[in-house]
Each structure stands twice: as C-alpha cells, then as structure tokens.
Amino acid sequence: MEKRRTFDSAFKEKAIALAAARGNVPAIAIELGIEVNMLYRWRKELSQYEHNSFPGRGKPKMTDKERELAV
C-alpha cells in the first residue's frame, strides 16, 4: 500500500499562488504531481478561511468569527 502524501500549508499556499499567476490550475497540478481537484479545494479553502486555512491534522478550520466565539 502506498503511503499517503501530506502537504504543509506553505506548499499549499505556494501552489495556489502559482496557479493564480499562471492562470492554469490543471497544468500546475500536473506539474506539482497533485490531483487537480485537490488544488481547487485548497483554493476554495483559502478564499473561505483566509489566514485560518490549513490548520493541520485534526484541527478544525474556522473563520475569524468562529475562532473568536470558540475562545
């Protein structure tokens, strides 16, 4: 069985920025060796949660308002 690959938040943010700069998500995904849908999902998450995106394993994604209420 193949080990599942993990990507840190810096990689995800750079991949999203690269796709935005070049304007071609599928080509960037192929170049980086990731699934196209994964890159679209990362892009959606970043637009929805901004700097709270990609919190890490087991940590919930929250908007600033949700994070404020959780405290």
- What's residue 22's pLDDT? 94
* b/e 37-58 (16+ beta carbons within 10 angstroms → b): eebeebbebbeebeebbbeeee
What pTM did the predictor assign? Answer: 0.74
How far is the C-alpha of 39 from the C-alpha of 24, rounded, in Å?
11
- What's residue 50's pLDDT? 75
How far is the C-alpha of 19 from the C-alpha of 3, rounded, in Å?
26
pLDDT (tens, 9 = 90+) of the chain, 71 residues, equals 778 888 888 999 999 999 999 999 999 999 999 999 999 999 998 888 777 777 666 666 666 676 666 66
Q: Does residue 33 come out as left (phi exceeding 0), alpha (psi in the -120 to 50 range) or beta?
A: left
Q: Which of 11, 43, 46 is nearest to 24 (CA)?
A: 43
